[in-house]
Amino acid sequence: MIHSTAIIHPNAQIGSSCEIGPYSVIGEHVMLGEKCKLHSHVVIDGHTTLGKENEIFPFASIGLKTQDLKWKGGVTRTKIGDHNTFREYVTIHSATSDGDATVVGSHNHILAYSHIAHDCILGSHIIMSNAATLGGHVTVGDHAVISISAVHQFCRIGKFAMIGGCSKVVQDVPPFMIADGNPAETRTINKVGMERHGISDEAQNALKQAYKILFREGLSIPNALVKIEKELPSLPEIQHLVQFVRASERGISK
């Protein structure tokens, strides 16, 4: 299932039942898992590994050299899991420093023109809408939804978080929350996203109270976290939220 116009380096490792469309280019150090489907004009290069059953649409470019001017050479990697969709013109760049990797998990849906920069770490079940852009070293948790927006380097997007369209994200977005604006501010809990994924009513109610304490009572972040731990039930979701906020280096989008 390899088109005659595709160019595949003889050392590339291609899994069974892969489909590689016209004018696609596969580099020397690429490993494709079984049943991956590459539509036409796909470029995969660098030390890049993809798991099984990934689908990549025309003009996507995966694993090429970072755009970071600090790049000094060495072996940098791009690691991608299973069952991902990368739509037209998606770009995913390799890491910057020798031995490091850009990582994308599984079951993600990365829409057209989206960009995942060097050293980003993405979890699974993430949606990036058309032209969403992640700067270098961005971390994105599972089930996050990022509409067309720009995320500053070194920011963290928590799991089950949602970023509104045309947002400018310059600080961390806490898990289970919706952020929107320029610069982005945390607006409310992601109630619909949590309902869709079976998070309990008890946890949703507790997260709503945590949101009010963090963002509506005028407390400092350390004092707000102490109040949350003291007054709200010690649910896994609350513990995760507190740990995420406490570990923030850039601050959270308020």
Q: Would you place residue 50 in the very low, low, confident or very high pLDDT band (cuts 50, 70, 90)?
A: very high
- Does residue 46 have an active-site annotation? no
Mean pLDDT of the chain: 97
- For residues 220 and 201, what is the distance between their CA atoms, to the nearest angstrom? 27
Domains and CATH numbers, the chain: 7-137 (2.160.10.10), 195-246 (1.20.1180.10)
- Average pLDDT for residues 160-166, to the nearest whole number? 97
- Average pLDDT for residues 74-91, to the nearest whole number? 98
Q: Which of 27, 105, 136, 164 is catalytic?
A: 136
Q: Would you place residue 253 in the very low, low, confident or very high pLDDT band (cuts 50, 70, 90)?
A: very high
User: Which residue is it, tokens 């740990």?
Assistant: 243
User: How many other CB atoms sit within 10 Å of the CB of residue 166?
Assistant: 14
Q: What is the pLDDT of residues 168-227, one digit of tens each?
A: 999 999 999 999 999 999 999 999 999 999 999 999 999 999 999 999 999 999 999 999
Q: Supply the pLDDT for residue 162.
A: 98
User: Which residue is it, tokens 């994200």?
Assistant: 169
Contacts of 44 (CB under 8 A, 6+ apart): 24, 25, 26, 27, 30, 32, 38, 50, 56, 61, 62, 63
Q: Which of 29, 115, 118, 152 is catalytic?
A: 118
Angle at 229 between CA 223 and CA 230, to 5 degrees: 90
Instruction: Give pTM, 2 decimals.
Output: 0.96
User: How many other CB atoms sit within 10 Å of the CB of residue 32?
Assistant: 26
- Does residue 136 have an active-site annotation? yes
Q: Would you place residue 89 in the very low, low, confident or very high pLDDT band (cuts 50, 70, 90)?
A: very high
Q: Which of 45, 68, 82, 119 is catalytic?
A: 119
36 and 61 Cβ atoms separated by less than 8 Å = no
- For residues 150 and 132, what is the distance between their CA atoms, to the nearest angstrom? 6
- Does residue 82 have an active-site annotation? no
Angle at 251 between CA 245 and CA 252, to 5 degrees: 65
78, 82, 251 from 103: Cα distances, Å: 6, 12, 24
Q: Would you place residue 109 in the very low, low, confident or very high pLDDT band (cuts 50, 70, 90)?
A: very high
Q: What is the pLDDT of residues 15-49, one digit of tens each?
A: 999 999 999 999 999 999 999 999 999 999 999 99
- Average pLDDT for residues 41-62, to the nearest whole number? 98
Q: Supply the pLDDT for residue 229.
A: 97
Q: Would you place residue 83 in the very low, low, confident or very high pLDDT band (cuts 50, 70, 90)?
A: very high
